[in-house]
A = this chain, B = another copy of it.
Amino acid sequence: MALSPLLTDLYQLTMLYAYFKSGKTQTASFELFVRELPKNRNYLVFAGLRDVVNFIENLSFSKEDIDYLYSLNLFPDDFLDFLKDFRFTGNLWALKEGEIFFQCEPVLRVEAPIYEAQLLETALMNQVHVASLLASKGARIYSVSKGKALADFSLRRTHGSDAGMKAAYSSYLVGFVGTSNVLAGKELKIPVIGTVAHSFIMAFENEKEAFKAYLKAFPDRGILLIDTYDTLMGLKNAIEASRETGIPLKGVRLDSGDVVELSKKVREILNEEGFKDCKIIVSGGLDEYEIDKILKEGAPVDAFGVGTKFGTSSDSPYIDFVYKLVEFDGRPVMKTSSGKEMFPGRKQVYRQSEKDLITLWDEKGEGEPLLEKVIEGGNLIKRLPTLRESREYFLDRFNSIPQELKNIYVEKEYPVYFSKELLKLKRELEKEIKEIKWKGRK
């Protein structure tokens, strides 16, 4: 379902009306980018394009929306009539879904009559932010996983339902194998994963009875949670339950305690008892630091279920995306608010060998251009890749970035250069604004 056009900041609508009233309909270009990467992030992963396109294609005000705006006593009737037929008629450029990006690089550019381009800001930012935030956190977790399977278990503690869907989506994009979120399975066709909780065990007379009941219900997916009372006793009960029912034990899950120590012991017992094929799954409070530690200490874990710390990107819970006007009516623009510098003009990003170059759009840079046109005149002009295709794309791109960026313990800045033309334009505009300030202050 498309987002409501009212999922926006009020000032987008008051500006829209002020543009309407002053007859401002010239073409504007806005770019979405990050000035500096957040702490603990040496790279970011672009995600959310499908939601952006879906929002843009379906952007229109319903009768109830117009009635609500009318009730605010802010807007005159002729403007509300204008909103009734509002559609996006402009162009959109974007990085490919799953692309790796860095500081100052535009991930989207919107080009449209200024009131249309402005109106997109809040929803675009909201959607790209959460999807890219979680993809970027997920990529760090993937980077330490040494080929072990990762599953998204975060839904219960993501910031609401939309974030829960994005967590499933973005984690699969960056190499996870599935999610516990059933709705994401249905709507995004992501493999769904899950077995039992502690409450299930507690609802039976004893642990072994609970295990037997679960094995009988899912004879092909016999994965049991063994730490409700005591992990090693749980393992013994799981083995007995498997033997007594004749149903194979496919896996055991550990959700608490010293999982390095316990997983080694569990593996040893499983092997001794003839359960060599039984997998060990670990969950509970995991993130890239914890998984890295567990694997480096030689824990024989086959899969990890990753929850809260992934689903809230807890060590760095936001990215300072900004959506800035870079060109208006053919003229490059910039603001100079203190601490908020930016580069003027429409830009392109070129990926070169272990560095990126940002140029003005009309220059020809060397390397691989990253922004491509997705929407023209309000219409999608290319098939968007499926999530599986984007996942392949991410995995390929992630392979090719410098290894040192993937060290989760060290902050390292990837080199992003600016073309001479772009630097010259910035200097010229800075000079121009300084002169205006000089005159303005007198």
| A204–B23 alpha-carbon span in the complex (Å) | 11
Find out whether the CB atom of B236 lies under 8 angstroms from the CB atom of A440. yes
Q: How far is the CA of A12 from the CA of B213 in the complex (A)?
A: 15
**Min distance, Cβ A207 to any Cβ of chain B, angstroms:** 8
Check A202–B127 contact: CB distance below 8 A.
no
User: A11–B194 contact, CB under 8 A?
Assistant: yes
**Contact A159 B157, beta carbon cutoff 8 Å:** no
A182–B337 CB distance below 8 A = no
Contact residues, A201-219 vs B (CB, 8 A): 201-204, 206-207, 213-214, 216-218
With a cutoff of 8 Å between Cβ atoms, the chain B residues found around residue A74 in the complex are 218, 221
Q: A130 at interface (Cβ–Cβ under 8 A)?
A: yes
Is there contact, CB below 8 Å, between A130 and B155?
no
Minimum CB–CB distance from A198 to chain B (whole Å) comes to 5
A126–B9 Cα distance when bound, in Å, is 25
CB nearest neighbor in B for A156: B125
**Is B155 a contact partner of A186 (Cβ separation < 8 A)?**
no
Q: Is A122 an interface residue (CB 8 A)?
A: yes
A256 to B336, CA, bound (A): 10
CA distance A368 to B312 in the complex (A): 35
| Complex Cα spacing A133 to B317, Å | 13
The listed residue (B68, B196, B237, B321) touching A440 by CB distance below 8 A is B237
Interface size bucket, A side?
35 or more
CA of A11 to CA of B156 in the docked complex: distance in angstroms? 12
- Binding stretch for chain B, among A222-230, A291-299, A348-356: A222-230
Q: A130 and B159 in contact (CB under 8 A), knowing A200-B15, A335-B229, A440-B230?
A: yes
- Asked if A93 CB lies within 8 Å of chain B CBs, one says no
Task: State A200–B126 Cα separation when bound (angstroms).
Answer: 20
Instruction: Check if A313 is an interface residue, CB within 8 A of chain B.
Output: yes
> A121 interface residue, CB < 8 Å from B?
yes
Q: Are A24 and B203 in contact (CB under 8 A)?
A: yes
Q: Which of B15, B158, B232 contacts A196, CB < 8 Å?
A: B15
Contact A180 B22 (CB under 8 A): no
* Residue numbers in B under 8 Å from A317 (CB-CB): 159, 312-314, 317
Q: Are B114 and A7 in contact (CB under 8 A)?
A: no
Tell me, rounded to whole Å, the shortest Cβ–Cβ distance linking A442 to chain B: 10
* B121, B200, B335: the one within 8 Å of A228 (CB): B335
A 152-180 to B, binary, CB cutoff 8 A, 1 in contact else 0: 01011111111111100000000000001
| 6 more A-B residue pairs beyond the given contacts A18-B200, A126-B161, A237-B440, with a C-beta to C-beta distance below 8 A | A10-B194, A13-B182, A22-B217, A68-B185, A122-B155, A160-B161
Q: Please list the 5 inter-chain residue pairs (A to B) with the smallest Cβ-Cβ separation, ordered nearest first.
A: A10-B194, A160-B162, A11-B194, A159-B159, A159-B163
